């Protein structure tokens, strides 16, 4: 066989091979280089109460999501070009973080791939607590602390008429909220026996219970001591006694006093200061026996009661003293 002819046949055969290969390829090298897919961000770490997030896809053409964690719920599984993909996550009821990948690829025959890592901490748990659950007879308020994911709504329910949710005097039996919140729980003054009731806090299908109680009431609350007698006999001297206490709107302060002194000169005074100021007795002198004094508080708050016997610089008359008895607050 002629060598020249052999070489010619070989070259022609190779040319036929490249032509046939080129005709069978569905894309060119240039097309392959132009194909791309990107995501932003490349990872997401959720907060403990996050339930929804999103990421951005940048792609040269069609794309699709090939796989994702079972606890991730995607708004879409395919798209074209640029776009947002939002997703929700199921509650993580475990005690530690969990992670997984959302994997994407171009849907153009090139199968370019990209992924985004999702990390989810344990979902914030629904919790209810109160630092104090026992109330004094006079009435008071304490905070009920509710902790829940921000996306979760909840309600507090009560049945006792002497309990008020959020503010004093609120007659509603239900209070609604969501996420974390501190709710004031008020109770009325108790003039009867010890009492208790249960508050129900419900979030979704989960209910928690807080039992509160209140001490038995006493209509009369004597201050300590409930009596006082002045002891100063010398001229130009003052003897006094002070009591500090908390009074509520409607409470009544009362006492009896007797004075025997130089009329107009050696005097007995009794004054209130604090949330409000008021003169109960002003310069009582001479002879007064078992005089009754009472005062109804028109404002709740802390008070100081001061009683004093003031002597002038000269003579003395009578027993030269003042006596106070049955000093008490009537809680109404």
- In-domain check, residue 16: no
Which of the listed residues 214, 238, 255 is the one where a domain comes to its end? 214
The DSSP code for 302 is E
Is residue 248 very low, low, confident or very high in pLDDT (cuts 50, 70, 90)?
confident
Residues 194, 226 within the same domain: no
Is 26 a residue whose pLDDT tops 60?
Answer: no
Mean pLDDT calculated for residue range 185-201: 92
Helices (H) and strands (E) in the chain, counts: 2, 27
Residue 116 belongs to a domain with what CATH number? 2.60.40.10
The DSSP code for 12 is H
Cα gap 264→219, rounded to integer Å: 37
Is 332 a residue whose pLDDT tops 90?
Answer: no
Is residue 28 very low, low, confident or very high in pLDDT (cuts 50, 70, 90)?
low
More confident residue, 11 or 295: 295
pLDDT in tens, 88-122: 999 898 889 999 999 999 998 888 999 999 999 99
CB 297 within 8 A of CB 251: yes
116: how many CB neighbours lie within 10 A of its CB?
Answer: 22
**Mean of the per-residue pLDDT values of the chain:** 89
Is residue 6 very low, low, confident or very high in pLDDT (cuts 50, 70, 90)?
very low
Which of the listed residues 193, 214, 235 is the one where a domain comes to its end? 214
CA distances from 310 to 50, 136, 208 (A): 71, 38, 61
Output the pLDDT for position 136.
81
- In-domain check, residue 262: yes
Q: What Rg value do the Cα atoms of the chain yield, rounded? A: 43
Torsion-angle region of 160 (φ positive above 0: left; ψ -120 to 50: alpha; else: beta):
beta
Residues linked to residue 270 through DSSP beta bridges, in sequence order: 281, 307
Is 5 a residue whose pLDDT tops 70?
Answer: no
More confident residue, 176 or 190: 176
Tell me which of 139-153, 253-267, 276-290, 303-317 is least confident.
139-153
Residues 226, 317 within the same domain: yes
For residue 171, give its domain range: 127-214
Residue 264 belongs to a domain with what CATH number? 2.60.120.200
Residues 134, 112 within the same domain: no
Which of the listed residues 214, 246, 262 is the one where a domain comes to its end? 214
Here the tokens at position 42 are: 């490349």
Output the pLDDT for position 289.
96
Number of domains in the chain: 3
- In-domain check, residue 22: no
Residues 227, 326 within the same domain: yes
Q: Nearest Cα to 118, choosing from 206, 47, 177, 189?
A: 47
| Share of residues in the chain with pLDDT > 90 (%) | 71
- What is the value of pTM for the model shown? 0.50
- In-domain check, residue 30: no
- In-domain check, residue 15: no
Is 12 a residue whose pLDDT tops 50?
Answer: no
Here the tokens at position 140 are: 């008071």
- In-domain check, residue 18: no
Is 294 a residue whose pLDDT tops 50?
Answer: yes
Q: Nearest Cα to 216, choosing from 190, 251, 187, 248?
A: 190
Residues 86, 40 within the same domain: yes
Is 238 a residue whose pLDDT tops 90?
Answer: yes
- In-domain check, residue 257: yes
């Amino acid at each position: 066989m002629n060598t020249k002819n052999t070489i010619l046949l070989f070259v022609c055969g190779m040319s036929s091979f490249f032509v046939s290969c080129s005709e069978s390829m569905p894309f060119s090298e240039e097309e392959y280089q132009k194909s791309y897919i990107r995501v932003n961000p490349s990872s997401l770490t959720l907060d403990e109460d996050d339930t929804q997030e999103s990421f951005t896809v940048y792609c040269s053409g069609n794309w699709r999501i090939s796989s994702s964690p079972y606890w991730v719920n995607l708004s879409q599984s395919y798209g074209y070009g640029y776009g947002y993909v939002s997703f929700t996550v199921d509650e993580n009821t475990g005690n530690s973080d969990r992670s997984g990948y959302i994997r994407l690829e171009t849907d153009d025959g090139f199968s370019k791939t990209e992924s985004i890592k999702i990390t989810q901490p344990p979902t914030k748990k629904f919790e209810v607590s109160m630092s104090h659950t026992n109330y004094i007879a006079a009435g008071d308020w304490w905070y009920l602390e509710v902790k829940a994911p921000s996306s979760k709504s909840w309600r507090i329910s009560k049945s006792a008429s002497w309990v008020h949710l959020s503010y004093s005097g609120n007659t509603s039996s239900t209070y609604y909220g969501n996420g974390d919140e501190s709710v004031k729980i008020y109770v009325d003054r108790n003039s009867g026996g010890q009492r208790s009731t249960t508050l129900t806090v419900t979030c979704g299908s989960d209910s928690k219970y807080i039992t509160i109680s209140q001490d038995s009431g006493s209509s009369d609350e004597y201050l300590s001591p409930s009596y006082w007698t002045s002891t100063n006999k010398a001229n130009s001297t003052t003897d006094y006694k002070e009591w500090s206490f908390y009074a509520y709107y409607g409470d009544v302060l009362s006492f009896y006093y007797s004075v025997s002194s130089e009329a107009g000169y050696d005097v007995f005074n009794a004054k209130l200061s604090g949330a409000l100021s008021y003169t109960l007795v002003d310069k009582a002198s001479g002879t007064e026996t078992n005089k009754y004094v009472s005062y109804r508080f028109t404002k709740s708050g802390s008070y100081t009661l001061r009683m004093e016997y003031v002597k002038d610089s000269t003579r003395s008359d009578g027993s030269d003293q003042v006596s106070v008895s049955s000093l008490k607050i009537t809680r109404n």
